[in-house]
Structure 1
Amino acid sequence: MRLSALEVPDSRGRARRAVTALQFSAATDLLSLGLHVILSLGVFTEEVQGVPAAGVVFLNVGGGLLAQVFLLMWFHRVVRQLKALGRDIGDSPAMAVWWWLIPLANWVKPYHLMKEVATRLGGAHFASVLPLSVWWGANVLSRIMNQVDQRIIGKLETADGGMSTAGAMVGLIAAGSALVMALFSIQIIRALQEKLDQRRDGLEFGDGPVPEAGAEAA
């Protein structure tokens, strides 16, 4: 098992790229948060508010997509390494990524996959102390607010054609939730990667057998 595990490239580089992308995404979420605060105060006129809003939306969407891509690339590599270590989470690396993209399932399954990875790496106690529930709750809230904005609030305008107060508040909640999700994603990636690095270093330098997850939990 030791040689087969070491044949799988490690995920440290992908973890760093995912963290960097998430930091950029968090920065754009902060910009979006600030913009919605300003819009809710009615500082910009109808003619002016579209200029900064368009730029922030472009950065926000682009940053979010980039972060998602790098996160999934990292997650794929992590699942491959766990499989090689004999700690299969029950899904292939490819399927573990697809669950994040399948409609309806992607509202629940990624949380359970991430929790399973954490349990396999550090035991049940390690998984329980990670902010997985807050991370995924922020994700779900952000997505719900974006759906509300697109389907309902986006159709409401003020008398002068600007953004309604309700629209600004929904956008504020969505941006705040996305920011929380990005920050906790960074924390979770770093914690899981550290556990994985410890296991891999143990194999590479022959420090002894990789401890069982159950033993760590105890």
Structure 2
Amino acid sequence: MKKIIGVIVVFVVVVIAFHQGASYFSKRVEEKRNSPVIITGSYSGEESSKPESGQYETIEWEELMPAGWNPVKNTEGLKIEELEDNDPRAVEALKKTMDAWKNAPVNPALNGKSVRIAGFVVPLEYQGNALKEFLLVPYYGACIHTPPPPPNQIIHVALAKHARNIRAMDAVWITGDMTVQQKDTVLGVSGYTMKGLSIVPYVEEKKPDAKEEGGS
């Protein structure tokens, strides 16, 4: 039964990780919300198309989860490290956590939206060295070095045109049309799919300091 308790701890760690990952990007995209798409860079030999003119809303990972959703709520108040190996509370907590994780609710308001979001790439399919499909995840190592996030924190992206020189865990901006649709892959189950119209390297944009703004 030690394995059961260990799995609960893993789930708690991963939940903390994806909240931290979401916060990481959230701090850097706030000023871009509701702004037109700006292509700030490209991958060498990129073949992905750029979006048509129009507004693409910049969204944060928290918006993919319904407000108040907490997959490990059932473990609150439990001192897992103090539970006996055969404690039924550990078994029940694990079952509820796994059920909540597997059946993570999505945000239906995102269905059909044209959006831009930052995240990390988990490649699924290449053609030569050109990326065709991938999972977009909110924190480094997800689906590869750690268990996958819940479905409402994974976006399955199919690029309209393939993009070259993109590696696993590259941080990117992806722009495209979002659909609420579950898709199973060998690396994780996504709660959303996206037709990716643009993929560019994630670069943190620095604001000019007071001296630069004042010209002195």
Report if TM-score (shorter chain) is over 0.5: no
Structure showing the higher strand proportion among its residues: 2
Structure 2 length normalisation: TM-score?
A: 0.30
Q: With a CA cutoff of 8 Å and minimum separation of 6, indicate the structure with the bigger relative contact order.
A: 1
Structure 1 length normalisation: TM-score?
A: 0.30
Structure showing the higher helix proportion among its residues: 1
